[in-house]
Amino acid sequence: MFDYNVMRNGLSVITSPMPHTRSVTICAFIKTGSRYETPSSSGISHLLEHMVFKGTKNFPNPRMISEGIEKVGGSMNASTDRELTIYWCKVPSDYLSAALAIIRDMLVEPLLLADDLDKEKSVVLEEIHMSLDDPSSKAELLLEELLWTGHPLGQSIAGSEESLNGIKLSELTDYWRLQYSPANTVLSIAGNVEVKSVLGEIEQLFGDWASTSHLPFEAFTSHQDSPAILLETKKTQQTQVCLAFHGVSVTDNQRDAVNLLDTVLGDGMSSRLFVELRENKALTYDIHSYSNQLTDCGSFHINSGVDSKRLHHALSGIMAELKGIKQNITEDELTKAKTLQKGRMELRLEDSRNVAIWLGGQQVSQGFIKSPEQIIDDMERVSLEEVMQSAQRIFNLENLNLVILGPHRSSEKVAASLLL
């Protein structure tokens, strides 16, 4: 299904031929993000991602970069997270060479000009203001600060107005030189391609990209021993409720069990939280859970927007479901969760972009790649007991972080709702 090679300069390359498709997707994963930043440089990874699109040596303005992809019907974008920055483009397979040349220039020879820096700072500041104005986004930002208190993981990915304004061009350039290195990069290509030909092109385009040392990140260990609750008053139509528990890392041996636990609890319209709080009690329009797994740690989240007058009932309902899932999960629920995850994987792997992201994501986060068959086999071997153990491990009151944002009136009922 895929071929994995490491070039002489340390660049990891994954190629996955999909002869039934007419497209090809290129994904470049850079091991850098907000976790690698200090308080004074907070937001520099995301700002650099923006700056890379402003021009390169051979494509000196944003229009040349975008037109090079869009004129053939392709699309491209990028994103920055806590541990990764990802650039991707998807084009008809005949235009792979042109797309590779653009991606190469963006990573290896961005211009990074002073005039562009001031403009992009303004753009990112608007992003920050939009997030702070949106109740759901702001609640999630507050929750991350609470969950990862005193650690770089708790910093906003976009940074703050103060940190952004303090970033100098020389600092941005130095950060790019350190982090954008072939040994710190995984290139994942999926679609209608021929492996030997692609590797030859990559060697020609990226062969002169020299590796440098890159920044380490600060390890995280949770010392939380009591619930952390933040009540933020804001005049909104709904009250935002965001819960998070410290979870498992991407290589934890309970990872598959936690993913299945997530499916049973809050992933989709047939999950426990959705059925009980939305369908049966009409306490919310939407409620969902997800598991976020990082290199050495992780978190388990539950998010919902509720009627402020029924906040106490919604919280009580959520806590009741958490208590219930620690006590009982049925074989039928587990079988359905496994079937759902298997079906999602099979559908996801029909698209070249999904395949490129899936393969590259595995390599960059855990250092190896499992085939779909291996992943499904591992998942099928997860027992009901293991899923129950995961629920009991994660859903403990002393492990709870909670943010409530909205026109709430009292913290007394909130505290009462948290009795597990």
Q: Are residues 242 and 173 in the same domain?
A: no
Residue 288 lies in a domain: yes
Tokens of 349: 């792997």
Q: What is the pLDDT of residue 182?
A: 97
Q: Are residues 153 and 273 in the same domain?
A: no
Q: For 236-270, how does the pLDDT look when each residue is reduced to its tens digit (9 = 90+)? A: 889 999 999 999 999 999 999 999 999 999 999 99
CB 360 within 8 A of CB 14: yes
Q: What is the pLDDT of residue 417?
A: 60
Q: Are residues 7 and 124 in the same domain?
A: yes
Q: Are residues 81 and 187 in the same domain?
A: yes
Burial per residue of 341-351, b for 16 or more beta-carbon CB atoms within 10 angstroms, e otherwise: beeeeeeebeb
Q: Are residues 67 and 200 in the same domain?
A: yes
Q: Report the C-alpha gap between 118 and 125 in whole angstroms.
A: 11
CB 88 within 8 A of CB 103: no
Q: Are residues 197 and 243 in the same domain?
A: no
Instruction: Please state the domain count of the chain.
Output: 2
Q: Are residues 184 and 302 in the same domain?
A: no
Q: Are residues 335 and 198 in the same domain?
A: no
**Closest by CA position to 299, among listed 307, 291, 309:** 291
Residue type, 322: L
**Closest by CA position to 161, among listed 113, 121, 119:** 121
Strands (E), 192-238: 228-233
Q: What is the pLDDT of residue 106?
A: 98
Q: Are residues 280 and 322 in the same domain?
A: yes
Residue 161 lies in a domain: yes
Q: Are residues 274 and 141 in the same domain?
A: no
Residue 31 lies in a domain: yes
Q: Are residues 124 and 235 in the same domain?
A: no
Residue 323 lies in a domain: yes
Q: Report the C-alpha gap between 79 and 18 in whole angstroms.
A: 25
Which position has the token pair 């104005």?
133
Residue range of the domain that includes 284: 228-417
Residue 387 lies in a domain: yes
Burial per residue of 182-220, b for 16 or more beta-carbon CB atoms within 10 angstroms, e otherwise: bbbbbbbbbbbbeeeebbebbbebbeebeeeebeebeeb
Q: What is the pLDDT of residue 408?
A: 66
Q: Three-state SS for 263?
A: helix
350 Cβ partners below 8 Å, 6+ apart? none
Look up the CATH number of the domain holding residue 91.
3.30.830.10
Which position has the token pair 């941005």?
172
**Closest by CA position to 139, among listed 3, 233, 57:** 233
Q: For 262-287, how does the pLDDT look when each residue is reduced to its tens digit (9 = 90+)? A: 999 999 999 999 999 999 999 999 99
- Looking only at Cα atoms, what is the longest distance across the chain? 66
Residue 211 lies in a domain: no
Which residue stretches of the chain have pLDDT < 70?
A: 408-420
CB 311 within 8 A of CB 241: yes
Residue 342 lies in a domain: yes
Q: Report the C-alpha gap between 112 and 114 in whole angstroms.
A: 7
Q: Report the C-alpha gap between 300 and 142 in whole angstroms.
A: 15
Q: Are residues 164 and 274 in the same domain?
A: no
Residue 222 lies in a domain: no
